[in-house]
Amino acid sequence: MKKPKKTAPKQTAAYTYLIVAILLLAVFLRFIRLSELFHWTMDEEYWSYIPFNIATGYHLPLIGGHISGTGLYSGPLFVWLMAIPFFLTRGNPLGIAAVVSGLGVVTTFVIYLVGKVFYGKKAGILAAFFSASSCLMILYDRKYWNASPIPLLSLATIFCLYKISQRHFNWAYLLAIVLAIAFHAHMTSGVLLVLVVGSWLLFKLPIAKREIFIAIAIFIMLQTPLVVFELRHGFTNIKALQKLLSQSSSDVSLTQASLEIEKLTLNTLGRLVYLPPRRDIANELTLCSEYQKTRAIPPVWAIGIALTGILFLFSKWKEPQSKLLGTAILANIVSLLWYRLRAPVGSWYPGQLSEYFLLPSFPVLFLALGRFCQTVLEKLGRYAWIGLAGVFMIILFNINALLTAYHSDGFAQKQIAVNQAIALVGNQPFSLNIKSDDPCRLYGYRYLFSYLGKEPVQSYLDPQFGWLYQRRLPKARPTRELLINNISGTIDVKVINVPETDLTP
């Protein structure tokens, strides 16, 4: 690919104004109705408790958390880093919502920078525009959990590999740190490790380099907490990994699994291009098997645009940038297929809810669309306004989708319910229970009591989360039973006096 021509000062100023406008749009869409649309369920509670415990001096863990259904535990780098904003915000979930929303804005800016380096300013701006306005991307940017940094870490991995492919081997140091954080954050980081190996083979990169050896040493050194954990806990991870690799695979054939992954990939990429309006965010993000059929299916034209962008990327395979991005997509799909084939029935692979496994490819799609749209606009010449009109229509559709979205199980109403509950129980020791006609809507309450310094003596979440707060529990027996009803989307708080006979040993 030819190097982009130098732009005139007026064009440079115009590009600057454009990227500022895009970033302002990204800020607006990620912060509007922050409390109302903030997704807050079990995953968010779990990944809040651990850094909250670090920030408050309760416990410094050597691991991050349990990797769902695998028996494995992630490393602690992600939760150690998240302890900083938890300390600064005093564990306030809205403060954390602002942090991850801000991270989404940073990701949009980095997409622009990578697109600019790869394909020029026009492609970078177009890619950033898609990222800033994509309703699905915005929803994930506003969701806090251990997968929150994966799109940004994926971008950083891709850019580091690009610089290394140009024989700038010092970038391997940053790559080692990025991979270590990703590896400690979420299991989808396995895609990035596959991408590194694939890129090394494709670009025929040397291994016998001083910088590479130092980078490997940095990565290994950052695994020290996990090594200490293994030594202290009888090699828990190693045993779990052996069991995972030796257990019988899922009940699907390679053909069935391939068809599932094809459907999941196309639907997810199409949803990134356009998510239909007036959607309930609870149905779109909650990882509950009952919600598999509630998620919006993108229109055929949105899937077609996403697929065209990806295929166009592969048509430019000779470009090192496109080869790298294409390899990232392939690594993600192959890893996803392996997950599907290895996951036992009812385990850590939640079927068509698994679009978050494609988070590493979200920025790749935007870069691919930026590259494709740039080419189309150049070929249209003086009729480029037709192509721009199409781009702006997609952007407006997505903005409308976000502005018409609502959350029937969001943070705001749970915060109100918990504040009411605390006012009702006063200084009395109490137990906490949640009643709901929807098994997917029992969560998002317990952490708020910890954050507000009002721990229940007992709660419905103790069997799963008790180890995260048991040393903070009041010693008194509960004299009040607090019941929060979340029935048909309506939250009601009740306090029931515990009979004296129930207080006797």
Indicate the pLDDT class of residue 209, thresholds 50, 70 and 90: very high
Nearest to 433 by CA among 502, 504, 495: 495
C-alpha 350/C-alpha 74 separation (Å) is: 19
Q: What is the dihedral of CA 210, 215, 216, 221, to 10 degrees?
A: 130
Q: Structure pTM? A: 0.93
Phi-psi domain of 157 (left: phi exceeds 0; alpha: psi -120 through 50; beta: other): alpha
Give the pLDDT score at 12: 81
Give the mean pLDDT of 2-26.
80
What is residue 406's DSSP assignment? B
Give the mean pLDDT of 317-346.
89
Give the mean pLDDT of 146-167.
97
Structure confidence by residue, pLDDT tens digits, 116-125: 999 999 999 9
Nearest to 172 by CA among 140, 141, 122, 211: 211
Give the pLDDT score at 331: 96
Give the mean pLDDT of 192-199.
95
For helices 190-202 and 320-342, angle between their N-to-C axes, nearest 10 degrees = 140
Structure confidence by residue, pLDDT tens digits, 239-277: 888 887 777 666 778 898 899 999 999 999 999 999 999
Indicate the pLDDT class of residue 5, thresholds 50, 70 and 90: low
Burial (Cβ within 10 Å: 0-12, 13-18, ≥19) of residue 182: buried
Domains of the chain, first to last: 9-403 (no CATH), 411-503 (3.30.2300)
Does the pLDDT value for residue 503 go beyond 50?
A: no
Does the pLDDT value for residue 164 go beyond 50?
A: yes
Give the pLDDT score at 343: 73
C-alpha 297/C-alpha 128 separation (Å) is: 24
C-alpha 442/C-alpha 486 separation (Å) is: 8
Indicate the pLDDT class of residue 347, thresholds 50, 70 and 90: low
Indicate the pLDDT class of residue 495, thresholds 50, 70 and 90: confident
Burial (Cβ within 10 Å: 0-12, 13-18, ≥19) of residue 250: middle
- Mean pLDDT, the chain, as a whole number? 91
Residue whose pair of structure tokens reads 């940095």 in the numeric block: 218
